[in-house]
Amino acid sequence: MLDFIAARRDRREHGAQAIHAFVGQLVGGAIPDYQTAAWLMAAVLNPLNENDTAILTQAMASSGVTLDLSELPKPWLDKHSTGGVGDKTTIALVPALAACGATMVKMSGRGLGITGGTIDKLASIPGMRLDFDPDDLVELAADTHLAVAGANRSIAAADKILYELRDATGTVSCIPLIVSSILSKKIAGGAKHVMLDVKVGSGAFMTNLVEARELAGWLVRTGRKAGLNIRAAVTDMSCPLGRTVGNALEVYEAFDFLSGKPTGRFGELCIELGGQALDLAGLAHSPRHGRERLREAVSSGQALRKAGEWLDTQGGSFEAVLNRELPAAPVQIEWRHKGGRKFVESIDAGEVGALVVALGGGRRKKEDEIDPSVGVEFMVEQGSPLSDGDPVARVHARSEEEAAEALERLQAAVGLADKPVRISPLVFDVL
Ligand code: URA
């Protein structure tokens, strides 16, 4: 291990043998945390090259259980977001893409920090089971061809150890470490086609476009080296995605999309990413054709029916979602606009994410319990015109005090302009 740390300190290439030995010893519990942490810090200061990153990714992917999807029909498709505020795209796209013929068996994460997690959102549905072993997950999908579960400790076991140490040692932000962490779990998850959504903006890991493009490029090149058919879209996360931030509220919005209701920028992103994903998986002959297929799956009711089958097989109550009976916060306060004719110029995703965490909708530490009912519902998005008395947003909180505090932060997070504003692009790039 001392040689391994020294190699990183001195910017030497590690090579396959050293990396496999490191990962093997790591999962075997043979490396003290202080040595792993020293290597991680050296890896942040002297990042691994692409060759070593690809080797590390493969070694981490094989460090635990891998899902075998061979009993399920092809194409095996996965969709992954690097994380954002109000990002409920997975909940909408898993059933919609399955309705178009893809097998979608997916491991998802819990939220940590300002970015929410799909598993926390789904956990707000009464009865929804999310704790399946990898083999049971595949069996569960035998008829419906879709299933979602929380990432299991046994999948990419090395990543669990490394991620917890990274989180505790200020070594999360480093492209080769992020790439190996994300892709090792995708490879172990068994899908062959992977559509990535790399978020950029104040509510994302990557706050500037140059870094986000760099991350997307690394993910695509490393994924291809590992044999994945992979594509990445770089998409906006300067404003929260869609009109809701908060676990139960986001489930409603995802199901609004599946029901064919208007869902603004969130719906647009689902169609965009879904169209790319169908093209990538060979279920459409172009992204445009993919978008058409997806719109058709939604308007014909197939996507919503598939969502109903999905919830049924995982024990979740479809009725509770459709009848809006998920946990509701006891206090709701509305913000109505005062101050004459204005336009919504910006909604700071990072700040909205942070205030929803403060309301109890996210975790500060991984042991924290979250409250599924709290959050923010917007009646506007970037560019919306406002006149006096128009509703801007509603805060859902556990108490009057928490609601008032959140509303004050929310009002500071929304920028208003006197003139119509330029709306940020939704998709910056597809690689
Ligand atoms: N998501 C992951 O799974 N790992 C990272 O390192 C960053 C985001």
Question: Across the strands, what pairs with 342?
Answer: 386
Decide if domain 77-322 falls under CATH 3.40.1030.10. yes
Strand order in the sheet with 342-347: 385-386, 342-347, 414-417
Residue of 14, 80, 243, 337 marked catalytic = 80
- Mutational test site, ligand 1, from 107, 119, 169, 181, max ligand atoms within 8 Å of CB: 181
Distance 180 CA to ligand 1 centre (A): 8
* Residue 185 designated active-site: yes
Q: Is 80 helix (H, G, I), strand (E, B) or coil?
A: strand
Decide if domain 331-417 falls under CATH 3.40.630.30. no
Q: How would you write the pLDDT of the chain (431 residues) with one tens digit per residue?
A: 999 999 999 999 999 999 999 999 999 999 999 999 999 999 999 999 999 999 999 999 999 999 999 999 999 999 999 989 999 999 999 999 999 999 999 988 777 678 878 999 999 999 999 999 888 999 999 999 999 998 777 889 999 899 889 988 888 889 999 999 999 999 999 999 999 999 999 999 899 999 999 999 999 999 999 999 999 999 999 999 999 999 999 999 999 999 999 999 999 999 999 999 999 999 999 999 999 999 999 999 999 999 999 999 999 999 999 999 999 999 999 999 999 999 999 999 999 999 999 999 988 777 788 999 999 999 999 999 999 999 999 999 999 999 999 999 999 999 999 999 999 999 999 99
Pairing of strands 385-386, 391-397: unpaired
Distance separating alpha carbons of residues 264 and 158, to the nearest angstrom: 39
Radius of gyration of the chain, Cα coordinates, nearest whole angstrom: 21
Residues 6+ apart with CB under 8 A from 183: 57, 61, 219, 222, 223, 226, 228
pLDDT at 112: 66
Residue of 166, 213, 363, 396 marked catalytic = 166
pLDDT at 164: 86
Q: Output the six-digit token pair for 312.
A: 């049924």
Measured in whole angstroms, the distance separating CA 79 from the mean position of its chain's CA atoms is: 9
Q: CB within 6 Å of ligand 1 — which residues? A: 82, 172, 177-178, 181-182
Residue boundaries of the structural domains of the chain: 2-46, 77-322, 331-417
* Residue 181 designated active-site: yes
